[in-house]
Structure 1
Amino acid sequence: MEVILLERVQNLGELGDKVRVKPGYGRNFLIPGKKAVPATPENIAMFEAKRAELEKVEAEAKAAAQARADKLGGIAVSLRVNTGAEGKLYGSVGPTEIVDALTAQGAEVEKREVQQPDGPIRMIGEYQVDVILHPDITVTVDVIVASEDEAEVSDDAAEASEDAAAE
């Protein structure tokens, strides 16, 4: 099946490319998602008439994604979670928790944009997570997962040192 791409599709092509794809991929993903249209003579003529408009929309989307990337650059997210022995988490840290933490810091990120290459986080430590804002724009965010128990221990130690200093 041949389709004309209406936007850049990763690992497939750019806006306006005429590509051959498997029929199921075209019918079930590209066409319903408005990412492509079948390559019929009518659609080719329609696309050529709207090419400038589609390129302008794509450029605006890329500029908006770049502005969001500039806001996200250098942000580190710190999450406090319940842990068991040896730093193993009860549950895991997934895209939802990362998005909530980024939103709390004022960043606009959707759950589908967060990519965890190694899957959900299940141990305390420092991790890097990719945020794909546009097919051409990816930002890496540092995620620091710490135990809530460590926070309580460090707070108790700080209070003890303040009490000792007061005496």
Structure 2
Amino acid sequence: MKLILTQQVTGLGEPGDIIEVRDGYGRNYLVPRGFAIKWTRGAEKEIDSIKKARSAREIATVEHAKEVADRLGGLRVQLRTRTGSNGRLFGAVTAADIAEAVRAANGPDLDRRRIEIGNPIKTVGTHRVSVRLHSEVDATIDVNVLEA
């Protein structure tokens, strides 16, 4: 099945890329979740608009990505959330929560789709989260989750 990615999918590509995947993966996962659209000749035009939007908000160069990674490395990110009696959270910390906490700590504006949470954050404490800034540059953030 031929698809056009609308969002970054780790291991597949960037928004606007034309990919070839198995029918079931495309039909049951990528398309319903909005990660991709079916490829048609009319959708080719949409690729250009996706790429223009991506270039406007993306970190363009590797050097700029390294600068942002250095800023993130020296950042102390704290996130306050409601917890139960045993230190477990009500729900989980999301990528949007982390992006907002980075912004509140005077860090750079991060796209929530660039933040990759390995295991769901459901407990109080310090958790390590990776951020894919550029295709060649990744950064890690230590997020300290506190009781509200």
TM-score (norm 1): 0.54
Partner in structure 2 of residue 111 of structure 1: 112
Secondary structure in 1 aligned to 2:86? helix
Q: How does 1:1-167 map to 2 (within 5 A)?
A: 11=11, 21-22=20-21, 28=38, 33=47, 60-108=60-108, 109-119=110-120, 121-148=121-148
Structure (1 or 2) with the greater helix fraction? 1
Other structure's SS at 2:83 match: coil
- Matched position secondary structure for 1:86: coil
Paired residue type of 1:141: I
Structure 2 unaligned blocks of 5 or more = 2-8, 14-18, 27-35, 49-58
Q: Deviations over 1:138-165 (max 9, x none)?
A: 11100111112xxxxxxxxxxxxxxxxx
| Bigger Cα displacement from structure 2, 66-75 vs 134-143 | 66-75
Q: Secondary structure at the match of 2:107?
A: coil
Distance 1:61 1:33, change over 3 A: farther
- The 3 A distance-change label for structure 1 pair 113 and 147 is same
Larger radius of gyration: 1
Note the C-alpha offset of 1:65.
1.5
How many matched pairs? Answer: 113
**Contact conserved, 2:75 with 2:107, CA < 8 A, in 1?**
no
Q: CA, structure 1 residues 66+118, in 2 after alignment: closer, same or farther (shift >3 Å)? A: same
The secondary structure found in structure 2 opposite 1:85 is coil
Note the C-alpha offset of 1:76.
2.6
Given that 1:10 and 1:135 are in contact with CA atoms closer than 8 Å, whether structure 2 keeps it comes out as: no
Deviation per CA, 1:69-91, whole angstroms, max 9, x where unpaired? Answer: 12111323111211112111122
| CA RMSD, Structure 1 to Structure 2 (Å) | 3.4
Rounded to whole Å, the distance in 2 between the matches of 1:98 and 1:88 is: 17
SS in 2 for 1:134: coil
Partner Cα separation in structure 2 for residue 89 and residue 66 of structure 1: 33
- Looking at structure 2, the residues matched to 65 and 33 of structure 1 have their Cα atoms a distance apart, in angstroms, of 24
Identity score, percent:
30
CA–CA distance in structure 2, aligned partners of residues 33 and 67 of structure 1: 29
